[in-house]
Amino acid sequence: MQRQHASITDAAYGQRRSEIGALSAGLTPDDPIPLVEYTDWEHEVWRLVCADLAVRHRVDAAAPYLQAAEELAVPLDHVPQLRDVSGRLASMSGFRLQSAAALVPLKEFCGSLANSVFRSTQYLRHPRSPLYSEDPDMLHDLVGHGIALANTRFAHLYRLAGEAAARVQSADALQFIGKVFWFTLECGVVREHGERKAYGATLVSSYGELDHFRSAAFLPLDIESLVDIEYDISTYQPLLFEADSLDQVEDVLGAFWGSCDDESIAALLDRRSRRVGSRH
């Protein structure tokens, strides 16, 4: 793969991302998703990643994700048009996709979720590293989040996260909501028949993450435990939170996102400060 695309320099790749992103610049939510004429190397990256992930998903992905993938039927042999996937998704869970020129700020991203809209990129990761991307690309957004959103249970949790983010005013509260989102809908793990299975979008959209996630340390899914955890989104996660079932994921996240506000999150963070202070 690297030899095949050696002529694509970093500068050329950056220009291609900028060209695709520019198609969505300034669009309103009511504007149609722009069509992209993808190149041969982009289709090849899509085929390579999807073929490898399809094999890993049968072993490592949670059953609700696998069922959603089958029903949404995102093409595996070519880059789909975001507009087409959005239409199918809307008929399944009420969510629709909106193209994004680049990474969307957390408040804006979550605000869209509250309105059943997921902001997706349309560009692909660098062809020299097809199996992992440090920042979101269309493979992450569609194979990870888009497929999950075809499941009505996951879609409900995404909406709750968006509504919670829309309620809070403080930066600390928003960041904590984002942290909960990261360790669940991005990097969540659930047990099925005694085995750990991935459902988080970051895990299921990355061959590298799926190859690594079982070697992480695991803690039971618990909102208060998340307060003390730091994380780095640019590397494989050394610590993950697991739930006993999707029912438990819904119960824990539903209870938190369904009722949290600035005051309740501040109380959580304050308890952490007191714990840290008592150690010194």
Q: Which residues are catalytic?
A: 140, 145, 186, 205
CA-wise closest residue to 229 among 179, 275, 174: 179
Q: Which residues contact 220 (CB under 8 A, 6 or more apart)?
A: 241, 242, 243
Q: Put the strands of the sheet holding 239-243 in their side by side order.
A: 195-198, 189-192, 239-243, 217-220
CA-wise closest residue to 187 among 175, 198, 171: 198
**Is the distance from CB of 89 to CB of 68 less than 8 angstroms?**
no
**Is the distance from CB of 123 to CB of 138 less than 8 angstroms?**
yes
Residues in the chain: 280
- Please list the alpha-helical segments (H only) found in the chain: 10-22, 40-60, 63-72, 82-93, 106-114, 138-139, 147-149, 152-167, 171-181, 201-204, 207-212, 223-226, 246-259, 262-278
